[in-house]
Amino acid sequence: MDAWIEQQTTAIAARFERELDPLVGASSPSGDVRGAEEAAAVVAALAPDEVEVERVPCSSPDHAPDLLLALRGDDPHGARILLLGHLDTVIGHADHRPLRREGDRLQGPGAVDMKGGDILALGVLRALAARRGELAQAALLLVVDEEWRVGAFAHVDRFAGWDACLCFEAGQLDDAGEHEAVVVRRKAAATVRVVAHGRSAHSGSAPEKGANALLGLAEAARAVAATHDPQGPYRLTAVPTVLRSGDAFNVVPGWGELICDLRADGQSAFGEVLQAVPRAVGGVRLEPELVRVWPGMDAREATGPLLERASAMLGRPIVAGARGGASDASHFASAIALTVDGLGPRGGGAHAPHEHVLMGSVRPRAQVALALAAAVLEHPHH
């Protein structure tokens, strides 16, 4: 193994748990300004002295600014490396718990999605600060709205053409469970919202005078689910996830909404799902729309040589993998050819009370991330 990788891995692993503790301790659900500010303050306090701390406008209105830690290199022709993560979680304040250790698990809200990855990225930035002579620029961008953003992503133009984007969503093993893997392919993602406009009526004395929005949405949910085709040409998954309708047990609901989660290899599949939703059911008018569309990502060809060089430095294979979940890496993939995701520590239970990071994964995942960074330093893409 390359000596720099081994040395920096030891430094990252030694600090990991005590740095993750205050970051998980900062409850930061999406959209909560105070929580985002607290999480950003924790990271800024842990940042290496060489970086400039900048707050940049978030993609979503009414959010705290995103956090950018910028490291200026000494070689204008050197590498430009973007490290990427997010500070927001899906766990609300009421269910927040501090980080706790149970055996090999560090358990807490956002531990694996993705505050553990943020801490690992911070360690890589600290390691890059020691190699400023080979850098033009490096930066760690941590956004505060990844878990529920419906608008356009704001940061692509600023970093377009950089040599590499390394994103620290949770790590994984290859399909055989033998080698560390990274994510170079992701599905496109979309959220469908169907609004039902029915007609209220007393459900006991005059139900026939109503138009039941709930029943209309039930038909819409069945129509969406019928398009689910994970083995098909687009590997489409179409899953109804949220249904809201009605305010009282004795009133025919006159309004409601249905939320569905879509993932596919091509965005054109999402339009076909919309077309499958009926526009009227039993006097209920249905209005389907796409409220959130994220691009897919396929960097397999571009990143192949990079993974080979990094594997040689590491002395073991780094396997190219895929994942269905959405990530901000997909936004950068169209503007930065060498985009690699899934560099964070491994764990499980994302978005659930038992969310955790596996401490045993910190060293191998740090080695993978450092090897990729070192490979970029040696062969800047530009």
3-state secondary structure the chain: CCHHHHHHHHHHHHHHHHHHHHHHHCCCECCCHHHHHHHHHHHHHHCCCCCEEEEECCCCCCCCCEEEEEEECCCCCCEEEEEEEECCECCCHHHCCCCEEECCEEECCCHHHHHHHHHHHHHHHHHHHCCHHHEEEEEEEEECCHHHCCCCCCCHHHHCCCCEEEECCCCEECCCCCCEEEEEEECEEEEEEEEEECECEECCCCHHHCECHHHHHHHHHHHHHHCCECCCCCCEEEEEEEEEECCCCCEECCEEEEEEEEEECCCHHHHHHHHHCCCEECCEEEEEEEEEEECCEECHHHHHHHHHHHHHHHCCCCEEEEECCCCCHHHHHCCCCCEEECCCCCEECCCCCCCEEEHHHHHHHHHHHHHHHHHHHHCCCC
Task: Please indicate whether residue 237 or residue 151 has the higher confidence score (pLDDT).
Answer: 237
Does residue 118 surpass a pLDDT of 60? yes
pLDDT of the residue at 266: 87
**What does the pLDDT average to over 119-141?**
97
**What does the pLDDT average to over 129-144?**
97
Does residue 95 surpass a pLDDT of 90? yes
- Of the chain, the percentage scoring pLDDT greater than 90 comes to 93
pLDDT of the residue at 309: 96
Which residues make Cβ contacts (< 8 Å) with residue 129, sequence separation at least 6?
A: 48, 50, 51, 71, 138
Does domain 3-186+296-378 fall into CATH 3.20.170.30?
no
Does residue 382 surpass a pLDDT of 70? no
pLDDT of the residue at 379: 82
CATH code at 188-294: 3.30.70.360
Q: How far out from the chain centre does Cα 67 lie? A: 16
Question: Which pLDDT tens digit goes with each residue over 35-75?
Answer: 999 999 999 999 999 999 999 999 999 999 999 999 999 99
pLDDT mean across residues, the chain: 96
Which residues make Cβ contacts (< 8 Å) with residue 145, sequence separation at least 6?
A: 30, 31, 58, 59, 60, 63, 66, 86, 88
pLDDT of the residue at 1: 79
Question: Which pLDDT tens digit goes with each residue over 8-34?
Answer: 999 999 999 999 999 999 999 999 999
Does residue 380 surpass a pLDDT of 90? no
- Of the chain, the percentage scoring pLDDT greater than 70 comes to 99
Which residues make Cβ contacts (< 8 Å) with residue 231, sequence separation at least 6?
A: none
Asked whether the CA dihedral 210, 214, 215, 220 is positive or negative, the reply is positive
Question: Which pLDDT tens digit goes with each residue over 99-112?
Answer: 999 999 999 999 99
pLDDT of the residue at 381: 62
Q: Where in the chain is the domain with CATH 3.40.630.10?
A: 3-186+296-378
Question: Which pLDDT tens digit goes with each residue over 284-332?
Answer: 999 999 998 999 999 999 999 999 999 999 999 999 999 987 899 999 9
**What does the pLDDT average to over 123-141?**
97
**What does the pLDDT average to over 79-83?**
98
pLDDT of the residue at 151: 86
Q: Which amino acid is at 301?
A: E
pLDDT of the residue at 324: 82
Q: What is the pTM of this model?
A: 0.90
